[in-house]
Structure formats: structure tokens, C-alpha cells
A and B are shown apart, each in its own frame.
Chain A
């Protein structure tokens, strides 16, 4: 495989947007293209990640639509729908195009506009990724799968609600330093857990998970410009390489997994990404994990290899995953507070990490970060993509 570099990264602010779908995608794309300073080097291909536009925005073939918006004809165009892992999957498609030598410059953009439908419709749309016969018909939604996972995981490893709250408090504090985050408001242990008012502030969503354990529903777009080694050399500037990507699948119905508390697909995808990168979890300076629910940040931090099984919440409690800790997790605020426009999320994780590796994150900058890791968790763990990025020092 030929090396693949990220030359530019851009995004819209996440949240509720009045912009139409393709305007969101275009604004993020233009920001990434400007960041890359491509000059007259042509874009060979465009890949767009999205999960729900066919249903929520009545638009399909988004890759072709984005080429048209940006007047990039005759660039190749693809659309990737892979559930909540659409974003990193689209990056993988772009990566493969450059690694194989079929392209030198690929624009990868993830976009979702889901606030256009009401909350019930939005929840039902995401729930349609669950098993149609064995899960969906029973009223299974993503929060319910997370709630059932959380109850088992907490019982087995001694994780308490205060640990879940610690994830939320940390990620809200990080998001407050991120101008692109959906929610820029800090929260406290008293406000969401220990004071009597917490019962009102933080109602149950899918027990034992409460509102501040769940990500918001967001609109937004994020974009990366991937380039070959030859183009990266021509551009100069900081060199961030996609050192390795890994992906793994698991059973559609969560109950069919041998051990439903084991995120096996995460373990396999992470191991593959680190192996291909020639690096280990110990080399990672900063990570973005898929905390659609707070419990997932803890479980993924273990399954990715950063902490032994059952130790993730203890590392969190010791402050190791704070912005100034030994392994900062979700400096962007994560899905929890930065927001979760589903198709954009996997791309946005890598946008944040590219900026981190280039030292462009201002108040939330992780000092001297050289190796970064992202985990994009699709389905409820039935399709997971892990990525390792590395800054090359010339």
C-alpha cells in the first residue's frame, strides 16, 4: 500500500442548522480544501458519508451532488451508507483509492441533517439499523441497546453512575473549549447526579442511562482532504499520515453475541489498525472515542487496548483521560457534547485529531501530540472502524 496523508480538515459547527443538507456538506468541504491549500492540484475523487438523507431529507446520490455543488467534475463520486460508522468507512474508501494508486487527491465529507424531523422520527430512523425481526419490532432503539449493555457492564465491573457522570462532565468541559461543538456548557456532578434537582435535570432515557449519558441529535458536516505522498511533498506543511485503519463486524442482534459485554468488533478493529500502523495503544497521545452513550467511552477505552478490561472507569476516576491526563480522550467534547450528526461523526473524529496533530486546537490542544486514535462505532457494535494517525517529522 502507498502511504496516505491528510492534507486538510474542516467542519461546520455541530448543532441545529438552518442550512440545507448540501450546503452543510459544501461548507465543510470548502473549509477542508482551503486548509489543504491545494492550489491548482485537481481533486480526483469525492466520497460522501451519510446515513439518513434518503429518509429525512429525501435526497440520494450525495457524492454526485457534492461534486456538482463544488464544480469538481469530472471527479469520481461515491456515497457511503454504513450506519453510524459511515464517516470512517468513507475515509477508508478514500484511503483505499490513494493507497492503491487510483487517485492522488480525494475529498471525504460526512454530513447529516437530522433535526429536520421530530425526535421520535429521528430515534426511529436510527433504530432501523437494529435487527428488524429480533430487535426492532420490540421497540428497540439505540438508547435501549446502550441501556441494556450498560446494566450488564456496570454490574460486572463495578462501574457506578458517578463514573458515567465523570465522562459527561469531562466531555462537556472539553466541548466548552471547542467552537465547533453543539453543546458548549459545562455540567457538574451536583447538577446531574447528587443534588435533589438532578432528578429533574437528568431524567432517565434508557435506565440506567440518563439524559446526560446520551449524545444530542445534531446537524453538521465534517471533511478531510486525503492525498498521496507525491502531493503531500508538493504541498509542504505539516504531514499527518493515516498510519493504519482496521474494521470488524459482529452479529446483527446484540443478544446473539457470546458475551454481550465484550465489544469484540472494537478489539479486532483496534488490533488491526495498530498492527497496520506498526504502533501500539501505548504510543497513542490523544484519542477520539464513539461516546454516543457515556458507558461506551469507558468500554471502548478498554476494548481499544488502552486499559485492561474492567479498568477503564478507574483510569477515568484517576483523571488519566482528562485533557491534561496521560491519555486525553475526546478533547473535542466527543459525541456527548460536540454532537452526533450520524454520517459526519466518523469524519469529524479524524478532523479533530488532524488538528490536534498539527497543533491547531488552541484551548483544547493536547501538548505535543504525535500519534492519535479514533474509534467509529457502528450499529451497536456490529460494524466498527478504528484509525491510527501519525504526525511525521521531517
Chain B
């Protein structure tokens, strides 16, 4: 289990990237500080996916791409009943998958 989801802030140019890379996509810097990916944001898009990978026993999953305030974008599971483009959500941590080594924790979005 993880305590939180982290991205990286480039020590040279300050760009925050998520997911992490070994090299800053903006300035090619190689030194970073971890930043916690969390907060409020806006739903850019979502889907109810019925074509699921193994390890899910639900009928469908509701996935979304959210743009967090500040500009960082994340993919995660949307827990809102009536999803809409542009709706306001905030991140929480929850179990997103049952992996080979047990439950995997990650980002979920709930309506604000």
C-alpha cells in the first residue's frame, strides 16, 4: 500500500510532471523533488468501460482524466454517480485494483 501518489517537480525549471520520468520533458533536467498529486480539479473526459482487464469483478469501471488546479493531469477512477464533462472533483486514495501481490492503491475522484 502506498501513502500517496507522487509526481516530480524539476529542480531546474520547476515543471511538475506526472507520471515521473527520468528526464524533465520540459528542460531535460535530471534532478527532481517529489510532489504529492492531490487536490481539486475538473473532469476533462470520462468513460464507463465494460471491456475490463482481468482482476476486476465489477460489471464496468468509471475512469476519468482530471485536470487538477495548477494544471497537472491525472487518470483515475471516478466515483461520481452522474458524471459530466467539466464537473468539479477532488482526489482521494482508494483501492483501484487487485494485483498479484494484493490490493493496489491509487487515485479516485469524488464530486466536490
Supposing A148-B64, A148-B65 touch, asked if A134 and B49 sit within 8 A by C-beta, the answer is no
Set A120, A151, A260: member contacting B85, Cβ < 8 A: A151
Whether B45 contacts A140 by the Cβ 8 Å rule is no
Set A124, A133, A208: member contacting B53, Cβ < 8 A: A124
A contact residues vs B (CB 8 Å cutoff): 120-121, 123-124, 127, 131, 133-141, 143-144, 147-152, 155, 203-209, 214, 251-256, 260
Task: Name the distance in Å between A170's Cβ and chain B's nearest Cβ.
Answer: 23
Supposing A138-B77, A139-B56 touch, asked if A148 and B51 sit within 8 A by C-beta, the answer is no
Closest 6 CB pairs of A and B: A147-B47, A134-B19, A144-B49, A124-B53, A255-B73, A143-B51
Set B19, B51, B55: member contacting A133, Cβ < 8 A: B19
A-B contacts, 12 listed (Cβ < 8 Å): A138-B77, A139-B49, A139-B61, A141-B49, A144-B63, A151-B45, A151-B47, A152-B45, A214-B51, A255-B73, A256-B25, A260-B45
Task: Name the distance in Å between A135's Cβ and chain B's nearest Cβ.
Answer: 5
| C-alpha gap A124/B56 in the complex (Å) | 11
Whether A139 contacts B19 by the Cβ 8 Å rule is no
**For A208, what are the chain B residues with a Cβ–Cβ distance below 8 Å?**
47
For chain B, give the interface size range.
Answer: 20 to 34
Q: Which residue of chain B has its CB nearest to the CB of A206? A: B49
Whether A140 contacts B75 by the Cβ 8 Å rule is yes
Task: Name the distance in Å between A297's Cβ and chain B's nearest Cβ.
Answer: 19
Q: Which residue of chain B has its CB nearest to the CB of A119? A: B51
Whether A141 contacts B51 by the Cβ 8 Å rule is yes
Supposing A148-B65, A155-B85 touch, asked if A124 and B47 sit within 8 A by C-beta, the answer is no
Whether B96 contacts A137 by the Cβ 8 Å rule is yes
Q: Which residue of chain A has its CB nearest to the CB of B76? A: A138
Supposing A139-B96, A141-B53 touch, asked if A131 and B64 sit within 8 A by C-beta, the answer is no
Supposing A120-B52, A134-B18, A256-B18 touch, asked if A144 and B47 sit within 8 A by C-beta, the answer is yes
Q: Which residue of chain A has its CB nearest to the CB of B7? A: A134
Set B50, B54, B76: member contacting A206, Cβ < 8 A: B50
